[in-house]
C-alpha cells in the first residue's frame, strides 16, 4: 500500500483520492479545509504527490493564469528535492509548463498525468478511463505511476508514456477538438433549421459513422459550449499560440463563434474557471 498525497481537493482531487483510495492510503491538502493535512506533513509521508489545482483563464481571454500552480510549486518542490517521490501535475497546464518547473527544480521528479474527467461523473470516469497518459522525464518515474494506475484500474485500457510537454498537448488537443465539434454541430443545426429538416435525425445518422461518432453532436439550447473546461482550455491554448507566433485561426474562429452564439456565459460564474483579479 502506497501513501498518496493530493494537493487540491476539488472535483479532480476528490475523484483521484476516491479512486486510488480503494487500495492506497490518501492524505490531502486543501487550503484551510477541516481534515486537511499540512503540506509539509503531506510531502514528508507521501510516496506520490498529485497536484489538482485550479488553472483558470484570464478574464480578458488572453490566456491561462498559472499563479496558483506557481505558488504551490514554489512551496512544495523544495520539500521534495532529492526524495525520489514523483510530483505529478494533474491539472490542465499549457504545454511546456512541467518542463519549466523541472528546469527550475532539477532535483524534483516531476511528471504530468492529465485528467480526462467529466464533472458530472468524475469518480466513475477516473476508474474507467479510455486511456491514461503519463508524461515523465525518466522511465522509472513513468513506470511507477503506470503501476499505480494498473493496481487500481486493471488492464482494460492503454497507458501511454511520453514526455511532459506531449502529455500536456494531448489534453489541450482533446478538449479543443471536442469544442470545435460542438460549434460545427451548431452551424449544421442552424442550416438544418433553414432547410426545414430535423437536425437530431441528421446527427443520429452522421454519428453512426465510427470515424465521426455521436459525441458532441447534440446542440444545447444555450448554444455553443459552456461550463468550465472547454472555454478555459480554448482560451489557454490560443494564448500560448499567440505567444509562440502560431496561427490557430480555425480555433480562434471557434472561440469567436462561441462567444457570439452562447446565450449564457456560465463559465464566468464557475469557481476556478476565470480569474477576475488580474
Angle between helices 139-153 and 11-20 (to 10 degrees): 80
52 is catalytic: no
* Contact in structure between 93 and 66 (CB atoms under 8 Å): yes
Distance CA 220, CA 215 (A): 13
Q: Measure the CA–CA gap between 278 and 187, rounded to whole angstroms.
A: 34
Give the model's pLDDT for residue 59: 94
17-71: per-residue pLDDT in tens? Answer: 999 999 999 999 998 788 899 999 999 999 999 999 999 999 999 999 999 999 9
How large is the angle between the packed helices 164-195 and 249-261, nearest 10 degrees?
50
N-terminal to C-terminal alpha carbon distance within the chain: 43
What length is written for the chain? 278
Per residue in 232-269, pLDDT tens? 999 999 999 999 999 999 999 999 999 999 999 999 99
Residue 278 has pLDDT above 60, yes or no: no
Question: Using only C-alpha atoms, what is the Rg of the chain?
Answer: 20
Q: Among 229, 237, 238, 240, which one carries the catalytic annotation?
A: 229
- Model confidence pLDDT, tens digit, residues 149-168: 999 999 999 999 999 999 99
**Segment holding 256, helix H or strand E:** helix 249-261
pLDDT at 226 over 80: yes
Distance of alpha carbon 131 from alpha carbon 113, whole angstroms: 11
Q: What is the pLDDT of residues 86-106, one digit of tens each?
A: 999 999 999 999 999 999 999
Q: What does the angle CA 125 – CA 90 – CA 276 come to, to the nearest 5 degrees? A: 105
Grid coordinates representing 29?
Answer: 491538502
Q: Which domains does the chain have, with CATH numbers?
A: 3-163 (3.40.50.720), 171-275 (1.10.1040.10)
Amino acid at each position: 500500500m502506497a501513501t498518496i498525497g493530493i494537493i487540491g481537493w476539488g472535483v479532480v482531487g476528490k475523484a483521484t483520492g476516491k479512486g486510488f483510495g480503494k487500495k492506497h492510503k490518501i492524505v490531502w491538502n486543501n487550503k484551510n479545509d477541516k481534515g486537511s493535512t499540512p503540506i509539509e506533513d503531506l510531502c514528508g509521508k507521501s510516496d506520490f504527490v498529485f497536484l489538482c489545482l485550479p488553472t483558470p483563464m484570464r478574464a480578458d481571454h488572453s490566456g491561462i493564469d498559472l499563479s496558483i500552480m506557481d505558488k504551490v510549486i514554489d512551496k512544495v518542490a523544495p520539500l521534495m528535492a532529492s526524495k525520489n517521490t514523483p510530483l505529478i501535475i494533474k491539472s490542465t497546464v499549457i504545454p511546456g509548463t512541467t518542463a519549466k518547473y523541472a528546469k527550475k527544480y532539477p532535483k524534483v521528479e516531476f511528471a504530468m498525468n492529465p485528467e480526462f474527467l467529466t464533472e458530472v461523473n468524475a469518480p466513475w470516469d477516473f476508474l474507467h478511463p479510455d486511456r491514461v497518459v503519463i508524461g515523465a522525464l525518466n522511465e522509472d518515474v513513468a513506470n511507477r505511476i503506470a503501476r499505480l494506475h494498473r493496481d487500481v484500474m486493471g488492464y482494460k485500457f492503454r497507458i501511454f508514456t511520453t514526455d511532459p510537454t506531449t502529455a500536456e498537448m494531448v489534453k489541450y488537443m482533446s478538449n479543443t477538438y471536442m469544442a470545435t465539434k460542438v460549434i460545427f454541430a451548431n452551424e449544421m443545426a442552424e442550416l438544418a433549421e433553414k432547410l426545414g429538416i430535423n437536425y437530431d435525425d441528421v446527427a443520429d445518422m452522421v454519428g453512426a459513422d465510427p470515424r465521426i461518432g455521436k459525441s458532441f453532436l447534440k446542440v444545447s439550447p444555450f448554444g455553443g459550449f459552456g461550463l468550465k473546461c472547454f472555454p478555459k482550455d480554448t482560451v489557454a491554448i490560443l494564448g500560448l499560440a499567440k505567444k509562440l507566433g502560431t496561427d490557430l485561426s480555425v480555433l480562434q474562429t471557434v472561440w469567436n463563434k462561441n462567444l457570439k452564439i452562447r446565450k449564457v456565459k456560465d463559465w464566468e460564474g464557475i469557481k476556478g474557471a476565470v480569474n477576475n483579479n488580474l
